[in-house]
Structure 1
Amino acid sequence: MADYDVLCIGNAIVDIIAQCDDAFLETNGIIKGAMNLIDARRAELLYSRMGPAVEASGGSAGNTAAGVASFGGRAAYFGKVSKDHLGGIFTHDIHAQGVAFSTRPLEGEPPTARSMIFVTPDGERSMNTYLGACVELGPEDVEPEKARAAQVTYFEGYLWDPPRAKEAIRQTAMLAHEAGREVAMTLSDPFCVDRYRDEFLHLMRSGTVDIVFANAHEMQSLYQTTSFDAALAQIRRDCRLAAVTRSEKGSIIVRGDETVPIEPLPIRELVDTTGAGDLYAAGFLHGYTQGLSLGACGDLGSLAAGLVIQQVGPRPRQNLRHEAERAGLL
């Protein structure tokens, strides 16, 4: 039996979340709905212009790890923070959520990563991320015993931005596969796909990645088509298992000739879409590592995503296991 259900690898980021209107985005040159990489000077400028904000530990894969733990799963995490105030916040939060995290923090510069997230009245989030210490994640941060011990290693496509992280991912994937484990990735966002399309396709087609998570826009960007059906047919051929989210249309899971449609969770109010895909992956992977059917995995993902978009912040406030039991899913 594996020591961990899911090992997540990602950019360790503290989110700074504020409400704004579309005019603010336009005035400040922010691309709506995207993750925009920024430098330290731009980070300081945007922070100075933000309204009242909430600080919350985030980072895509960190959110997924927290979600797995909330379901009662055994989660571990690799990610780089600095030994500073925000690094302390991140470390405290992920430990408090029950995730095994022991990546050595960076001494001195650059500081811990932060993402200024502007949420418009429609619930859409526009992220402006200064990667800071994240760019220092490298092969020396890989813990081989955790890589071999997790049923599934899951990493975020955003990790292809800091160059040394690619080496860490490839090393972890090799260790995982040697131990008979599986490797999953999320495509992260359409702009990330545009930057690394060929590399992402190679990861899938070479078998480095076994499971892919994407939303419809990311998948269509990957295959440079406006046709959802054409892109779905292609991803079905390129990877062993794919889960594709479609916002209010739910999601669809494909494996070989198998196709499993998943209904969305009905919600009272859309507050903030930050973390929706991350929590979908958490629910799916929890079910998957417990041996549940693909339909049950998708339902757990839909539950977690539906709950997180009804709150501000990317990590679950409810105990997801209790919510799943109440819904009859576990």
Structure 2
Amino acid sequence: MKDIDVIVVGELNVDLVLNQMHSFPEIGKEKLAHQMTLTLGSSSAIFASNLSSLGAKVSFIGKIGQDQFGKVVLQSLQNKGVDTSLILQSPALNTGLTVVLNFDEDRAMVTHPGAMDELRLTDISPEHLARARHLHFSSYFLQPGLKNGLPTLFQLAKSLGLTTSFDTQWDPQEKWDLNLTELLPLVDVFLPNEKELLRLTQTNTLSEALATLPKNAHLVLVKMGNKGSVSWCQGKVLPMESFLNKEVVDAIGAGDSFNAGFIYKYIQGSSLEECQRFGNLTGAISTTESGGTTAFTDYNKIKRIAQEKFGYAL
């Protein structure tokens, strides 16, 4: 019985976000940030939270510590309607933390992985996966415990009748050692941003990167910030303009919000064009408030922002 729309396997942490900075830190100097927010972080959690706010039934598999930051993670997800019963807690581990420094539309981040390092394939039950229609995995390079088991995870999901999506996120070590030829045939929707795809394919332009994709890859969505997005499907390329926000609060979680919007439409069987347009919209909505999730309090708020900020009726 599939009673879950999307099951998310991924990293969990809180974000300490510092905004209203006049410049980035410099060694030996002190800088001021005039706004501070402690909020739910991690690509996977932002995706899950915002997808649930859109109306999907979402469950999460991850690992955290038995500490105050862990409580923030659980409470934040539960407040958005995400099922947290499959999240593992360990008294021996710390919940991960990312310090985010925002300057204009750019940012710098420092992460303590904590429990994110310790999630293993053996923590993921086939019985739990079988309850879902779709599997989403994010932040490959932040989860070394799953690195060698990822093909097995996707193969298992496919054998249980799930569709799959995958967002690598950035590699902090910048080694980019990921076998796309092995993985992409198992992934229905691949969701890198432009910079990540160029690193992964060791190319200099988007057209070169798309040309190197394995011929048996399925659907690739390339996120390009305020330039919109580009989809690739069996060699056909579809660029789509962004919903431009002229008053960006911050861009944290904008890519994850794109993922949430795209997958929300994808699991409903919508066309590629409709999925991509809705992803562009939810990515833009994310930038209207701080932290990646605050613009997605509930569906009525999402509808209001879409109409008032972008002239789009949901």
TM-score (norm 2): 0.88
Distance 1:73 1:62 in 2: 14
- Segments of 5+ residues of structure 1 without an aligned counterpart are 30-45
Contact 2:257/2:286, CA 8 A, preserved across alignment? yes
CA distance in 1, matches of 2:15, 2:142: 18
CA distance in 1, matches of 2:82, 2:275: 21
Match of 2:228 in 1: 250
1:205-224 to 2 correspondences below 5 Å: 207-224=185-202
The letter of the residue matching 2:95 is: T
Question: Of 226, 230, 245, which residue of structure 1 is paired with 2:204?
Answer: 226
Q: Residue type matched to 2:158 in 1?
A: H
2:162 counterpart letter in structure 1? R
Q: Do the aligned partners of residues 53 and 99 (structure 1) sit closer, same or farther apart at CA in structure 2, a change above 3 Å counting?
A: same
Q: Aligned equivalents of 1:126 and 1:24: distance in 2?
A: 8
Q: 1:193 to 1:71 in 2, by over 3 A?
A: farther
Q: 1:5 aligns to what?
A: 5
- Cα deviation, 1:223-247, whole Å, max 9, x if unaligned, reads 1111211112223736210001111
* Kept after mapping to 2: 8 A contact 1:117/1:125: yes
Matched, 1:62 2:42: no
Of residues 160, 174, 177, the one that matches 2:158 is 177
Q: Residue 196 in 1 paired to residue 176 in 2?
A: yes
- Residue of structure 1 in register with 2:168 after alignment: 187
Structure 1 Cα separation of the partners of residues 142 and 41 of structure 2 = 17
Question: Aligned equivalents of 2:298 and 2:18: distance in 1?
Answer: 25
Pick from 146, 149, 164 the counterpart of residue 145 of structure 2. Answer: 164
Aligned length: 308
- d(CA) in 2 for partners of 1:28, 1:71: 45
Aligned to 1:153: 135
Q: Deviations over 1:117-157 (max 9, x none)?
A: 1111x12121111011111211232132331232221111x
1:241 to 219, 224, 227: 219
SS of residue in 1 equivalent to 2:213: helix
Counterpart secondary structure, 1:268:
coil
Bigger mean CA offset, 101-110 vs 84-93: 101-110
Larger CA deviation: 53-62 vs 256-265: 256-265
Corresponding letter in the other structure for 1:14: V
1:261 is paired with a residue whose SS is: strand
- Please give the secondary structure, in 1, of the residue aligned with 2:147: helix
Cα distance change on mapping 1:233 and 1:127 into 2, 3 Å: same
* CA apart distance, 1:269: 0.7
Contact 2:44 2:256 in 1 (8 A): yes
Determine the structure 1 residue equivalent to 2:67.
Answer: 84
Q: C-alpha displacement at 1:168, in angstroms?
A: 5.7
Q: Which residue of 1 aligns with 2:105?
A: 123
Contact 2:169 2:196 in 1 (8 A): yes
Report SS of the residue matched to 1:317.
Answer: helix
Match of 1:298 in 2: 276
Q: Read off the aligned partner of 2:7 and give its amino acid letter.
A: L
Shift of 1:328: 5.5
Structure 2: gaps of 5 or more residues: none
How far off its partner does 1:283 sit? Answer: 0.3
- Is 1:313 matched up with 2:291? yes
Is the CA contact 2:261–2:278 (under 8 Å) kept in the aligned structure 1?
yes
Greater mean deviation of Cα atoms: 316-325 or 68-77: 316-325
Contact 1:187 1:193 in 2 (8 A): no
8 Å CA contact 1:70–1:319 kept in 2: the answer is yes
Amino acid at match of 1:197: D
Q: What amino acid maps onto 2:65 in structure 1? A: S
Percent of aligned positions that are identical: 25
TM-score, length basis structure 1: 0.84
Mapped contact 2:140–2:168 kept (Cα < 8 A)? no
